[in-house]
Structure 1
Amino acid sequence: MYPEERHEWIREQIKTNKRVEVLELANDLAVTPETIRKDLDLLETTGILKRVHGGAIVVERLRFEPNLDSRDLTARVQKEAIAKRALEEIPDGGSIIIDAGTTTARLASIMPQDRELMIVTNSISIGMILSPLPNLTILLIGGRLRSKTAATVDSWALSALSEIRVSTALIGTNGISIERGFTTADPTEAAVKRAMVAAAKRVIVLADHTKYGDEKFARFASISEVDLLITDNGIDEVDRAAMELAGLNVVVAPS
């Protein structure tokens, strides 16, 4: 079992049972206790668990916002699959929005060189990833730069988004639920995402399956405001059916 698969299994256990034990995990996964301790130390940086003597306990994720580097460690393989699938939804021309985030950054990193697009983003890192592509016009949204996520927020960003209209917005999220829709931890980032939704004719959310069932502090879109969710094959079929019953079109990226 690869480390990413092991980490995903541990995440599912902590989410379901609220607590995990080092020796029990080591036995279940056929690895040494020291390997599990290192896994738990790494997963603690992502904010989903807290290390305690002999194991770990779940963290109340509603109140926690991991930084960009920590988020990038989570579900890497799944995010890459989602990004590849999202390429099929990008038009050959016109204008789009790419939201700040780790999955959207992966999308930017595999953008084809032949696309002639105007791309609006509130992420400096995504702008830098895309800048070498000669056929793209990159528009960076101004505003206050949040150090935790490297995203621009506040009134300057909202003002710019209120003046534009694009064909497609590709947006990340920290939480998805039927009741609350799409949520994120910070209200200022939620406001920018909400403005992106309003500026786009078509809204696509890119999110790995670990985001489902999680509710963060601030909502930026209801289920009905999103046209398509692209997720990975780790999504539970019951959860997928519930989202589709609520009216959300869900596409699972090939692994």
Structure 2
Amino acid sequence: MFAEERHRLVTEQLSLQGKVGVADLSERFGITRETVRRDLAQLEQVGVLRRVHGGAVVAAKASTAEQSHTARTTQNLAAKRRIAAKALELLPQGATSILLDAGTTTELLAGLLAEELAVPRAEELLVITHALPIAQRVSPALPLELIGGRVRGLTSAATGSHTLAQLDSLRPDIAFVGANGVDADFGLSTPDALEAAVKTAIVGCARRVVVLADSSKLGETALVRFAALADIDTLVTDREPDAELAAALEAADVEVVLA
């Protein structure tokens, strides 16, 4: 088989599965692992993939890769809606302070809060957020406390020392947090250090931490870890985690809720 044909098949597998393994490709094509590594190096040079230990992932899954807010709102939308609806069921009864992290799934949850709970529970709920899209969803239907700071254009969320100082002074009842990666070993991660610092502060200040992550995030890692699995209480997702992640979540005493 010519190299061009191997490259085409590798690209197809990446588009379907998001990753390839050196050992698997070596067996599939009947070539040495060194030849596979050369193929992957050539594909990396043209931006098709990013090499990782034992294989490669699509370039979009590089540790610092991050899509715009507009692009993310259309991805895995059905799963995110189910996750948001399930997250709504986790709210405690009575007066509750709710801290919402930036993210497209938390934004959907904000919409549900405003649409379904505004009338019966408006006086009992306080929503706190540093994300402008979430603030727009919530206000004026529910009481809102907006945390300030330098707004990052890609996510429209406040970051920096001013944001962290405000979070440090809070103790909300429940926080809903997004993540770009949920990994058995690395924990919870995101591509940007400033966003990671805010997420760490949110996890650290809340009485209960619920992570909202669709199944495309499971088993993935981004550049910056912001929390260990043991730092969170609940993971809401749309698919059972694989055996390795499921065991790690159980060991960390994390409740897994399927939407």
TM-score, reference length from structure 2: 0.74
Which of 118, 127, 131 is 2:126 aligned to?
118
Structure 2 CA distance for aligned equivalents of residues 120 and 226 of structure 1? 19
Would the aligned equivalents of 2:208 and 2:233 in 1 still touch at CA under 8 Å?
yes
Give the direction of change, closer, same or farther, for the CA distance of 1:96–1:12 in structure 2 (3 Å limit): farther
Q: State the match for 2:84 in structure 1.
A: 83
Q: State the match for 1:5 in structure 2.
A: none
Counterpart secondary structure, 1:145: strand
Q: State the match for 1:95 in structure 2.
A: 97
Give the direction of change, closer, same or farther, for the CA distance of 1:237–1:84 in structure 2 (3 Å limit): farther
Q: State the Cα distance separating 1:67 from its structure 2 match.
A: 1.2
Q: State the match for 1:104 in structure 2.
A: 106
Q: State the match for 1:162 in structure 2.
A: 168
Structure 1 CA distance for aligned equivalents of residues 14 and 90 of structure 2? 30
- One-letter amino acid of the structure 2 residue matched with residue 208 of structure 1: D
Which of 6, 14, 17 is 2:17 aligned to?
14
Would the aligned equivalents of 1:125 and 1:150 in 2 still touch at CA under 8 Å?
yes
Which of 115, 136, 154 is 1:148 aligned to?
154
Would the aligned equivalents of 1:178 and 1:246 in 2 still touch at CA under 8 Å?
no
Would the aligned equivalents of 1:14 and 1:58 in 2 still touch at CA under 8 Å?
no
Q: State the match for 1:130 in structure 2.
A: 138
Q: Which runs of 5+ in 2 are unaligned?
A: 1-12, 22-46, 50-56
- Structural RMSD (CA): 2.3
Which of 222, 231, 238 is 1:232 aligned to?
238
Counterpart secondary structure, 1:110: helix
Q: State the match for 2:66 in structure 1.
A: 65
Aligned length: 208
Higher alpha-carbon Rg = 2
Would the aligned equivalents of 1:185 and 1:218 in 2 still touch at CA under 8 Å?
yes
Q: Which runs of 5+ in 1 are unaligned?
A: 1-9, 19-48, 52-56
Q: State the Cα distance separating 1:201 from its structure 2 match.
A: 0.7
Counterpart secondary structure, 1:176: strand
Would the aligned equivalents of 2:233 and 2:253 in 1 still touch at CA under 8 Å?
no
